[in-house]
Structure 1
Amino acid sequence: MLAWLQSAGSHHDIGLALGRWGAEACRTHLLGSPAWAEIQQWRGSPQAAAMRANVDLFFPWIRDELEGLAEGLGLSFDEVFLWNCRGDLWALAPDGCTTVLAPGRLAHNEDGHPGFAGRCGLAELRPSGAPAFVSFVYPGSIPGHAFAVSDTGLAMTVNNIRARRSTTGVPRMVLTRAILAVRDPDQAVALLRAYPRAGAFHLGIGMAGAGATHSVEFSAADVSSEQVGQRRLHANHAIHAAQATLPQIITASSRHRQERGEWLLARGAGALDILADQGDAAEPIYRDSVEDTDDENTMATIDIDLSGPLASWTVYGPPGRAQYRGEGIRRV
């Protein structure tokens, strides 16, 4: 069951609340994990210092959120900052996901560290002087790198891209957190182009009432945005022509989910049926095996309808079991 959290106030206050909520899960399921040990090897490195300097320069309010998060978790800022740079520094960080995109609709499987199954949540956050939003949240991470809907009508889903080459730009999770403070998809793409980018992500971005949905891939080298004219699927590797030369890792799971999803799309399968599919037993789209080859499991599924004046959304736990529904950022 996903938790439902609410917090309002300064960015530090919001980070503090998220840290206190996630502290126990991090102590029991993250701090002793191979993933945590892998990323903490970067402590004191020039790369980490450069990314931290970029956050301080360009997004001091997200620095405040990270400081609050670290305080709430009872961990050092350096440890928590590195964990929130995991995909920039380590191409095999355990972040997955699959998205089905269509005009006016986004449907998404959020795949992450299996130890967090049943320990994640949805957070209704109201930062002072910024748009309020509802976001999927992982213990130990700032919001905005999974799926989210803001009170401006913006909706976003996020997929991992395992880029082999990153730079010392702004961490990718900081950039997607910053997107939740903009008003519309055009501003989101402009933000990505305005700052140096460290890692790579795929975003599904749409706007309530606007009709258009966008598939956006960004990396250190480029930002590509494509308007979605017909249904398409995105797993965990760059597929835009503009990213054709991006050095990346395409795991067996990512390749099989992309191929299986496209096969199902061609046969007219519905978005939620695709996201629940386990027809490829070895590398299913819906992932719940302790032996998953990428060490990732599906934490939740969201279906977002952007055809009306407010984003209408449903979040599912196990396939077919609705846990939360909302309009805009209001839970209904």
Structure 2
Amino acid sequence: MTVRIDHHELGGMPWVVVRGERRAAFRALGEEFAGRIRDLVLGMPEIAAMRRYEATGTGAEALTELVRLTERGAPEQHAELAELAKGADMPLRTLLLANLRGDVPNEVIATGCSDVLWRGRRSVLAHNEDGTAGQEEHMVLLTLQLDGEPAVSSLWYPGFLPGNAFVVTGLGMVLGIDHIPLVQPRPGVGRHFVARGLHAVRGVEDVVRFLGRNPSAGGFAYNVGDLDTGRLVQVESASGSTAMHEVTPARPWAWHTNHLRHLTELPDRASASSVARAQVLTRLSAPKADPDTDWFVEVLTRSAPRGVHRDPVPGDQSATLCSFVADLTTREVTVVRRGGTPVTISVDRLLGGPA
């Protein structure tokens, strides 16, 4: 089957458009990015931690059950990862360990993200993607135009299923996703596989319903925007439980970092960074009038106390890798790579690829 992969650039970030049949496209993507996949995945400190966990009797048993539930509960998404592994000539188990690292107890994960939402006369969803400093050299803005499916554009970590960061779909949904570290995740489908499945869902109500019907083992906070209606919701999904908060014109300001705010009965591992960013956003005065894109860019790209941008420090190499501001009203997305200049693009062009 013919797969076409076109390489472009947006704001200093590689932008790749992939066209073709789904499984063939993921295998071709693995072949095309084999070097980046190996460098990123094998260089992650979480992989060593996952291998140590797998080497214990309890860990091996838990991972076997987690993989079984994932393959059964998200067969298409599991098949995508399998094709990606084949293309990259890597063991599927290695990519599974990377994608499931947040679905088992893993104290090594210290990264996280921040999301800021506003619904007044305009609806805006802004997302900071935080990860280990240097990972921005591997990341790709990926647009999938798969046969018979709506297009999807996602910030992609090579070796991962697309969808655990910032996403815009051809069904009119915008997603900013935050890692939630749980003390003891419960058995369920791997959260990256659930997040990828969400790309086929249209509308806020169906997003909430989908997450309720597809419980994940680990935790994600889904910040969700609907381009057609301007609605904004936050859905925390963790260990089989979900909780939803809707942002309304009556209370237009909302935010999320990397600890639970609504599923408070579940124990999580709130990092010092997550708490500090939450304090910044709590103290930040929401503007009296509808803020423009520049205001959101400033919040995302400035350090505390004026914003939530992160730089690596001794003992914590987490950093803000890139930022996104999606104006649902104007249907535009602004992209800012770490240290770069903001670039704004229409949703239609982001999904369709450069003319």
Query: What is the TM-score when the length of structure 1 is the normalising length?
Result: 0.90
After superposition, the Cα gap between the structure-2 partners of 1:291 and 1:184, relative to the gap in structure 1 and judged at 3 Å, is farther
CA RMSD of aligned residues (A): 2.2
Q: State the partner residue of 1:259.
A: 279
SS in 1 for 2:207: helix
Q: CA deviation at 1:59?
A: 1.9
TM-score normalised according to structure 2 size: 0.85
Q: How does 1:1-332 map to 2 (within 5 A)?
A: 1-43=12-54, 45-89=60-104, 90-103=106-119, 104-229=123-248, 230-240=252-262, 243-266=263-286, 270-280=295-305, 285-289=308-312, 291=314, 293=316, 295-308=317-330, 311-318=331-338, 321-323=341-343, 325-328=345-348, 329-331=351-353
User: Structure 1 pair 246/317, CA: closer, same or farther in 2 (3 Å)?
Assistant: same
**Aligned equivalents of 2:36, 2:83: Cα separation in 1:** 17
Q: Does 312-321 or 262-271 show the bigger shift?
A: 262-271
Q: How far 1:220 moved relative to its partner?
A: 1.1
In the aligned structure 1, how far is the partner of 2:286 from the partner of 2:343?
29
What is the rounded CA distance, in whole Å, between the counterparts of 1:94 and 1:291 in structure 2? Answer: 13
Residues of 1 paired with 2:340 and 2:38: CA distance?
A: 31
* Contact 2:30/2:84 (8 A) holds in 1: yes
Structure 2: how far apart are the matches of 1:210 and 1:307?
9
* Structure 2: gaps of 5 or more residues: 1-11
How much has 1:211 moved relative to structure 2? 1.9
Alignment-derived partner of residue 7 in structure 2: none
Q: Which residue type is aligned with residue 88 of structure 2? A: L
CA contact (8 A) 1:218 1:224 kept: yes
Note if contact 1:231-1:265 (Cα within 8 Å) is conserved in structure 2.
Answer: no
- What is the alpha-carbon distance in structure 2 between the residues aligned to residue 21 and residue 115 of structure 1? 21
Q: Which moved more, 1:153-162 or 1:315-324?
A: 315-324
Identity %: 28
Q: Cα deviations across residues 212-268 of structure 1 (Å, max 9, x unaligned)?
A: 10011111142111111211221111112xx11210111111100110122123476
The answer to whether the 8 A contact 2:46-2:98 is kept is: no
1: CA distance, partners of 2:81 / 2:185: 21
Q: Which amino acid aligns with 2:16?
A: L
CA distance in 1, matches of 2:21, 2:279: 44
Change in Cα spacing, 1:22 to 1:286, as seen in structure 2 (3 Å) is: farther
Q: CA deviation at 1:323?
A: 4.3
Q: Is the 8 A contact 2:141 2:155 kept in 1?
A: yes
- Give the C-alpha shift of residue 21 in structure 1: 4.1
Displacement of 1:87: 0.8
Counterpart-to-counterpart distance in 2, 1:18 and 1:115: 22
SS at structure 1 position matched to 2:103: helix
Verify the 8 A CA contact 1:43 1:79 in the aligned structure 2: no
CA contact (8 A) 1:2 1:119 kept: no
In structure 1, C-alpha distance between the alignment counterparts of 2:109 and 2:30, rounded to whole Å: 21
Larger Rg: 2
Q: CA contact under 8 A between 2:115 and 2:127: conserved in structure 1?
A: yes
Cα distance in 2 for partners of 1:129, 1:54 equals 27
* Deviation, structure 1 residue 320: 6.3
Cα distance change, pair 13–153 in 1 and its aligned pair in 2 (3 A): same
Question: One-letter code of the match for 1:25?
Answer: R
Is 1:12–1:66's contact at 8 Å kept on the other side of the alignment? no
Rounded Cα–Cα distance in structure 2 between residues aligned with 1:324 and 1:22: 26
Aligned with 1:254: secondary structure? Answer: helix
Indicate if the aligned counterparts of 1:119 and 1:139 stay in contact, CA closer than 8 A.
yes
Please give the alpha-carbon distance, in whole angstroms, between the structure 1 residues aligned to 2:20 and 2:183: 38
Q: Distance in 1 between matches of 2:205 and 2:345?
A: 27
